[in-house]
Structure 1
Amino acid sequence: MDDSQKPARDALLPGSIIVAALLIAGALVYNVGYKNQNQQANVANSVVSGDLVDDDVVLGSPSASVTVVEFGDYQCPFCARFFSTTELQLRQDYIKTGRAKMVYRDFAFLGPESTGAALASQCAAEQGKFWAYHDVLFEAESIDGKENNGNLSDDFLKSIASELGLNRAQFSDCLSSEKYANEVKKDYDDGVAAGVNGTPTTFVNGKSVSGAVSYDAIKAMIDEALKTAR
Structure 2
Amino acid sequence: MPTPPRPSPAPKKPSPKKGAPKEGGSVKKPVLFGLVVVLAAGLLGFVSYRVTAPDGSASGTPAAATATEPDPDVYRELAGLARRDAGDKQAQGRADAPVVLIEYADFQCGYCGKFARDTEPELIERYVDDGTLRIEWRNFPIFGDASEAAARASWAAGRQGRFWAFHRAAYAEDAKAKGFGKERLRALARQAGVKDLDRFTRDADSTAATEAVGVDRQEAYRIGATSTPSFLVNGRPLAGAQPTAVFTQAIEAAAAEEANVGSAGDPAK
Sort the TM-score into its range (normalised by shorter chain).
0.7 to 0.9
Identity of aligned residues (%): 27
Counterpart of 2:38 in structure 1 is: none
Is the partner of 1:109 in helix, strand or coil?
A: coil
Residue 241 of structure 2 is aligned with which of 198, 212, 215? 212
Equivalent residues in 2 for 1:70-219, closer than 5 Å: 70-139=103-172, 142-143=173-174, 145=176, 151-163=179-191, 164-219=193-248
Aligned residue pair count: 187
Is the partner of 1:104 in helix, strand or coil?
A: strand
Tell me how far apart the structure 2 counterparts of residues 58 and 42 of structure 1 sit (CA, whole Å). 29
How far apart are residue 143 of structure 1 and its match? 2.1
Map Cα deviations across residues 134-178 of structure 1 (whole Å, 9 max, x no partner). 111111xx32556xxx61111011112222142011111112334
Map Cα deviations across residues 78-125 of structure 1 (whole Å, 9 max, x no partner). 101111121111111001111111001011010101000000011011
Identify which of structures 1 and 2 has the higher relative contact order when contacts are C-alpha pairs closer than 8 Å and 6+ apart.
1
C-alpha RMSD of matched pairs (Å): 2.2
How far apart are residue 48 of structure 1 and its match? 6.1
How far apart are residue 215 of structure 1 and its match? 0.6
1:223 aligns to 2:227 (yes or no): no
How far apart are residue 42 of structure 1 and its match? 5.9
Whether the aligned pair in 1 keeps the contact of 2:152 and 2:209 (CA below 8 Å) is yes
Question: For the structure 1 residues 125 and 154, does the alpha-carbon distance in structure 2 shift closer, same or farther, using more than 3 Å as the test?
Answer: same
Whether the aligned pair in 1 keeps the contact of 2:141 and 2:217 (CA below 8 Å) is yes
Map Cα deviations across residues 185-223 of structure 1 (whole Å, 9 max, x no partner). 110110011121100011100001101101100000000
Which blocks of at least 5 consecutive residues in structure 1 are unaligned?
1-36
Tell me how far apart the structure 2 counterparts of residues 225 and 109 of structure 1 sit (CA, whole Å). 29
Bigger Rg, which one: 2
Whether the aligned pair in 2 keeps the contact of 1:161 and 1:167 (CA below 8 Å) is no
1:41 aligns to 2:45 (yes or no): yes
Residue 79 of structure 1 aligns to which amino acid in structure 2? C
Is the partner of 1:52 in helix, strand or coil?
A: coil
Map Cα deviations across residues 7-31 of structure 1 (whole Å, 9 max, x no partner). xxxxxxxxxxxxxxxxxxxxxxxxx
Which blocks of at least 5 consecutive residues in structure 2 are unaligned?
1-40, 48-63, 260-269
Tell me how far apart the structure 1 counterparts of residues 127 and 154 of structure 2 sit (CA, whole Å). 24
Tell me how far apart the structure 1 counterparts of residues 216 and 205 of structure 2 sit (CA, whole Å). 20
Whether the aligned pair in 2 keeps the contact of 1:69 and 1:103 (CA below 8 Å) is yes
Tell me how far apart the structure 1 counterparts of residues 180 and 188 of structure 2 sit (CA, whole Å). 10
Is the partner of 1:49 in helix, strand or coil?
A: helix
Tell me how far apart the structure 2 counterparts of residues 135 and 110 of structure 1 sit (CA, whole Å). 19
How far apart are residue 130 of structure 1 and its match? 1.0
Question: For the structure 1 residues 177 and 42, does the alpha-carbon distance in structure 2 shift closer, same or farther, using more than 3 Å as the test?
Answer: farther
Tell me how far apart the structure 1 counterparts of residues 197 and 206 of structure 2 sit (CA, whole Å). 14
Whether the aligned pair in 1 keeps the contact of 2:169 and 2:175 (CA below 8 Å) is no
Question: For the structure 1 residues 172 and 97, does the alpha-carbon distance in structure 2 shift closer, same or farther, using more than 3 Å as the test?
Answer: same
- Bigger shift: 167-176 or 197-206? 167-176
Is the partner of 1:70 in helix, strand or coil?
A: strand
Tell me how far apart the structure 2 counterparts of residues 106 and 161 of structure 1 sit (CA, whole Å). 17
